[in-house]
Chain A
Amino acid sequence: MDADSSTPHNHLLLVDDDRSTRRIVSFVLCNLGYQVEAAESALEARQLIQKFGFDHFDLVLSDYWMPGQNGLELLKYISSEDPTLSVILMTSDGERKILEKLIEINGCGFLQKPIIKDNLRKCVDDASAKTRRLRHLRATESQANTLGENQRILQQKQLNGEWANIEFTFSSKSQASGDFVSIIPLQSGEKVLLLSDASGHELSSALQSNYFHGLARGMLKHGASLSQVFEHFNAILLEEWNDDSLIGHSLAAIALNFNREEQSLSFINAGAPHPYFSKADGFASKVGERESFAPLGWFADPFETSQTDLEPGYICAWTDGLSDLAESIGIDPLSLADRLLNKNLSSSSLLSQAQDDIAIIRVTPPCTPADFHPMVPLISLDLTGDQVGQIDHIQAYCEKSIRIVAPQIDCAYLADLLVCLREALINALQHGCQASPHKSATLRLARSPDLSKISIQIQDEGDGHDFDWETHAQAAADTLIPEHRGLIMMHSIPSRIDFFEQGSRVQMEFEHDTSLN
């Protein structure tokens, strides 16, 4: 916006009880291109403001000492009603120090009497430009709020309209978000779930992300492949990145393509956190193999493509704001996603700790029957044998992850579960993986939809161990041998335990007679 004071649109309110000052300053300001309204007191100034409205004025130039209310009281009134309207206080040299301090606090301008024309011009020009800047910002903020609200409504409606069993939550740190999710139905009957996260938190990030979805929708409906969409948008961003006149953006994106006929899921990932796929048992694993990929806009061809067979279960995906928040709290991102998707629990205090926008999506694949409710994944950890020394940390991580989902969980039930988890995991890392950094184990934890059951799966690379627990339990009791007590606990505490592959994979279920909440 042009800040030139010579335009006829600049309206100034001059307040001074001294008639000759009003006349001289008005004359000078009119010659400078201002339209001046004059008032002889703070009271009259307030009446003029109420008559014309705050937005009518670009600046208030007021004497400090006036009968009735002084200039500072007028300043306080204006600041409280319209903080965008700049105020300049005029005073003589004797009051300068007091005013300078007050002005510092209130952020208004200051003009020393007797007034010098050049000083007056510079001071009013700067102050009116400041008013225009602040009002432009205010208008932008309002538009951004509207845009953000529209973004939220549109996403929710679009997602619910396209997919019956979809859970979605969205939280932004500013008015509009660079995180965006949409579902694109294809003519073939397939559905593409697209999740993106543009760098930055400004409006341009939201536009970038939304533009990507619009472009993808158009290209996919005209027969382009997902790879072509990603390649094309990557090329656009790479070109933009190299254009010095624009601020470059990168965009992390993931596209999940559900093929109902083939019962398969193909996906492309460019810089987004790995999605997770769980089957009916809720034991989730990352989809994809490589650990990380560059977002679109950094390099040519940076993304990963992969395909997996589908079964009834869940696909969970999110933007990196969730991964970061989960890491800072010390819990599993799957648990945090489950908590944030739970509309019955308030998550405002959790979200207040987030440093970034968060978008989470959890869907059941199209092959999942409508009346079938898979277990919900909560923890998915891949560990190496040498992490056995971190067992306390891992246990605390699991406990926090469970508590975030079920804050009212019964302590004895949780202790039962944790001691078995600990025992099984120590076995897996210490014996199955021989505490080696080159051998790995997995820990998976899931809950039933009504939270009445938690199940755990722990698997290692070892050969397993044949264990006759009845015999060993009796021996442990009779002779107080130190061995096998952990396995005895694992056999006795859970509602159900199953060993597979000679015990290298163990699954435990912990049922509770009532819902954990």
Chain B
Amino acid sequence: MNPTTHSYKADGDIVSTNASQHWTRLESAIQNVSENELLEVDLRAANMVDSVGLNVIVKTIKTVDARKARVRLLIGSKSLKRICTFTRLDQKAEIVGP
């Protein structure tokens, strides 16, 4: 049986100058996530996620993890996928992408 999936779709890059706005919206989405459920963060519109943006994702993973739920990252850019690998986020969340 598939877990209940909640989703958050980023409308573009997540970088230092808009990270707090993304976090506000993500936080709302996380409120609805319960144990064993899945939060799908759609980053396919993002060409770039900088370190502050990555921190938003890290914070999302940690908050969702505290709720005993999981995060899936949908990625459209090879560059972003490499970054998730380099920064080892792929060990903490499921990565789906190119």
A30 to B31 Cα, complex, angstroms: 100
A485 & B87 in contact (Cβ 8 Å cutoff): yes
Measured between C-beta atoms, what is the minimum distance from B52 to chain A in Å? 8
Q: Using a Cβ cutoff of 8 Å, how many contacts connect chains A and B?
A: 72
User: Is the beta-carbon distance between A482 and B86 smaller than 8 angstroms?
Assistant: no
Distance to closest chain A CB from B55 (angstroms): 4
Q: Is the CB of B77 within 8 A of A412?
A: yes
Residues from 26 to 74 in B contacting A, C-beta threshold 8 Å: 47-51, 54-55, 58-59, 61-62
> Which one of A42-50, A76-84, A313-321, A486-494 is at the interface?
A486-494
**Interface flag for B21 (CB, 8 Å):** no
**Complex contact B54–A485 (CB within 8 A):** yes
Q: Is chain A's interface secondary structure helix, strand, loop, or mixed overall?
A: helix
Contacts of B79 in A (CB 8 A): 411-413, 415-416, 419
Question: Does A105 make an interface contact (CB < 8 A)?
Answer: no
B16 within 8 A of A: yes
CA–CA, A412 and B80, complex, Å: 8
Give the chain B neighbours of A411 by CB distance below 8 A.
47, 77, 79
Chain A 376-413 per-residue mask, 1 if CB under 8 angstroms from chain B, else 0: 00000000000001011000000000000000000111
Query: Measured between C-beta atoms, what is the minimum distance from B42 to chain A in Å?
Result: 17
Are A415 and B48 in touch, CB under 8 angstroms?
A: yes
Cα A33 to Cα B47 in complex, Å, equals 79
Q: How far is the CA of A482 from the CA of B19 in the complex (A)?
A: 13
Interchain CA distance A391-B91 in the complex, whole Å = 30
A418-B48, A423-B50, A480-B62 in contact; A489/B17 too (CB < 8 A)? no
* Contact of A419 with B50 in the complex, beta carbons under 8 Å: yes
Residue from A415, A422, A493 in contact with B86 in the complex, judged by beta carbons closer than 8 Å = A493
Q: How far is it, in angstroms, between the C-alpha of A486 and the C-alpha of B62 when the chains are bound?
A: 19
Question: Which residues of B sit under 8 angstroms from A422, Cβ to Cβ?
Answer: 15-16, 48, 50
> A residues within 8 A CB of B51?
423, 426, 485-486, 489
Does B95 sit within 8 A of A, measured CB to CB? no
**Closest chain A residue to B89 by CB distance?**
A477
Q: A423-B51, A477-B91 are in contact. Are A412 and B83 (CB under 8 A)?
A: no
In angstroms, Cα B40 to Cα A293, docked, is 58
> What CA separation (Å) do A415 and B78 show in the bound complex?
9
Instruction: Point out the residues of chain A lying under 8 angstroms from B25, CB to CB.
Output: none
A476 contacts B by Cβ under 8 Å:
yes
Task: For the complex, give the distance between the alpha carbons of A392 and B87 in Å.
Answer: 22
CB of A471 to closest CB in B, whole Å = 13
Is A489 a contact partner of B83 (Cβ separation < 8 A)?
A: yes
Which residues of A from 458 to 492 have beta carbons under 8 Å from B?
A: 473, 476-477, 480, 482, 485-486, 488-489, 491-492
Complex interface: chain B residues within 8 A of A412 (CB)? 77-79
Contact: B61 with A480, CB < 8 Å?
A: yes
A409 to B54, CA, bound (A): 25
Docked-complex contact A492 and B47, CB < 8 angstroms = no
Cα distance A311–B91 when bound, in Å? 48
B83 touches A477 (CB 8 A): no
| Pairwise interchain contact A482-B59, C-beta atoms closer than 8 A | yes
Report B27 CB to chain A, min CB distance, Å. 16
Q: Which residues of A contact B77 (CB under 8 A)?
A: 411-412, 415
- Asked whether, in the complex, the Cβ of B86 is within 8 Å of the Cβ of A492, the reply is yes
CA distance A413 to B79 in the complex (A): 7
- A415 / chain B contacts, CB cutoff of 8 Å: 47-48, 77, 79-80
Q: How far is the CB of B66 from chain A (nearest CB, A)?
A: 11
For residue B17, which residue of chain A has the nearest CB?
A: A392
- Cβ distance A409 to chain B, nearest Cβ, rounded Å: 12
A469 CB, min distance to chain B CBs, angstroms: 11
Q: Which residues of A contact B87 (CB under 8 A)?
A: 473, 476-477, 485, 488-489, 492
Contact B50 A493 (CB under 8 A): no
CA distance A413 to B54 in the complex (A): 19
- Given A419-B50, A423-B50, A486-B51, A477 and B88 contact (CB-CB distance below 8 Å): yes
The answer to whether B86 and A476 touch across the interface, beta carbons within 8 angstroms, is no
Which residues A407-445 have CB closer than 8 A to chain B?
411-413, 415-416, 418-419, 422-423, 426
The residue of chain A having its C-beta at the shortest distance from the C-beta of B85 within the complex is: A492
Which of A391, A413, A480, A488 is close to B16, meaning CB atoms less than 8 Å apart?
A391
Cβ contact within 8 Å between B55 and A485: yes
Interface 1/0s, chain A 5-25, versus B by CB < 8 A? 000000000000000000000
Closest-CB distance, A17 to chain B (whole angstroms): 75
| Inter-chain contacts of A426 with B (CB < 8 A) | 16, 50-51
Distance between Cα atoms of A448 and B50 in the complex (Å): 26
Q: Please name all residues of chain B whose beta carbon is closer than 8 Å to the beta carbon of A485 when the two chains form the complex.
A: 51, 54-55, 58, 87
Besides A419-B83, A492-B86, 17 other A-B contacts (C-beta < 8 A): A389-B17, A391-B15, A391-B16, A411-B77, A411-B79, A415-B47, A415-B79, A423-B50, A477-B87, A480-B58, A482-B55, A485-B51, A486-B50, A489-B83, A491-B86, A492-B82, A492-B83
Please provide the 5 A-B residue pairs with the shortest distance between their CB atoms, ordered closest to farther: A477-B88, A486-B51, A492-B86, A415-B79, A412-B78
Chain A residues proximal to chain B, CB less than 8 Å = 389, 391-392, 411-413, 415-416, 418-419, 422-423, 426, 473, 476-477, 480, 482, 485-486, 488-489, 491-493
Would you give 21 A-B contacts (Cβ < 8 Å), ordered by A? A389-B17, A391-B16, A411-B77, A412-B77, A415-B47, A415-B48, A416-B79, A416-B82, A419-B48, A422-B48, A423-B50, A426-B50, A477-B89, A480-B62, A480-B92, A482-B58, A485-B54, A485-B58, A489-B51, A492-B83, A492-B87
